[in-house]
């Protein structure tokens, strides 16, 4: 299994492929366990952890894009345009970097999102705009 640092560097397509394979392996392991043919029961725990780590990376990427989209200036730059979002984790800045690009590849906006910020109060009441550490509207 890849380390979380390696998972963060992989593309969404590769992560989804790995997730599908891990879920299939988990199904087979559970089936073997139910029929008393599984020799290494600890493998179930390892595969469950793999699934959880992959899901976590994919979920954090989606949350970073959503948080960046809620920034009013970025939302204005993306309005009435078709765009793609590229997301990667920057270890130097300790946050998710979201880059919005138009279909022709021109960069529209960029934001640094800190999903690890602690909030005072309930989680649902967290001010999502505070997750944006910095942003830049380019096009």
pLDDT at 1: 65
pLDDT at 25: 97
Question: Which residues is 112 bridged to in the sheet?
Answer: 97, 134
Sign of CA dihedral 65, 67, 70, 73: negative
Distances (CA, A) of 81 to 40, 43, 71, 77: 52, 46, 16, 8
Query: 19-58: per-residue pLDDT in tens?
Result: 999 999 999 999 999 999 999 999 999 999 999 999 999 9
Domain with CATH 1.10.287.310 in the chain: 4-64
pLDDT at 123: 56
Mutual angle of helices 12-34 and 42-69, in 10-degree steps: 150
pLDDT at 119: 57
pLDDT at 118: 63
Closest CA to 136 of 84, 87, 74: 74
Token digits for 71?
Answer: 């920034």
pLDDT at 116: 84
Residue with token string 């309930």: 122
CATH number of 4-64: 1.10.287.310
pLDDT at 129: 53
Query: The pTM is what?
Result: 0.86
Written as tens digits, the pLDDT of the chain (139 aa) is: 678 999 999 999 999 999 999 999 999 999 999 999 999 999 999 999 999 999 999 999 999 999 999 999 999 999 999 999 999 999 999 999 999 999 999 999 999 999 987 655 555 545 555 799 999 998 6
């Amino acid at each position: 299994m890849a380390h979380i640092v390696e998972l963060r560097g992989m593309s969404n397509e590769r992560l989804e492929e790995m997730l599908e394979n891990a879920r299939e392996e988990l199904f087979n392991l559970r089936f073997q366990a139910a029929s008393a043919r599984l020799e290494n029961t600890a493998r179930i725990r390892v595969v469950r952890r793999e699934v959880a780590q992959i899901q976590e990376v994919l979920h954090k990427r989606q949350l970073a894009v959503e948080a960046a989209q809620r920034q009013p200036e970025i939302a204005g730059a993306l309005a009435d345009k078709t765009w793609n979002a590229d997301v990667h984790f920057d270890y130097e800045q300790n946050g998710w970097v979201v880059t919005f690009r138009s279909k022709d590849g021109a960069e529209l906006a960029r934001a640094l999102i800190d999903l690890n910020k602690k909030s005072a109060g309930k989680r649902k009441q967290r001010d999502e705009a505070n997750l944006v550490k910095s942003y830049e509207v380019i096009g």
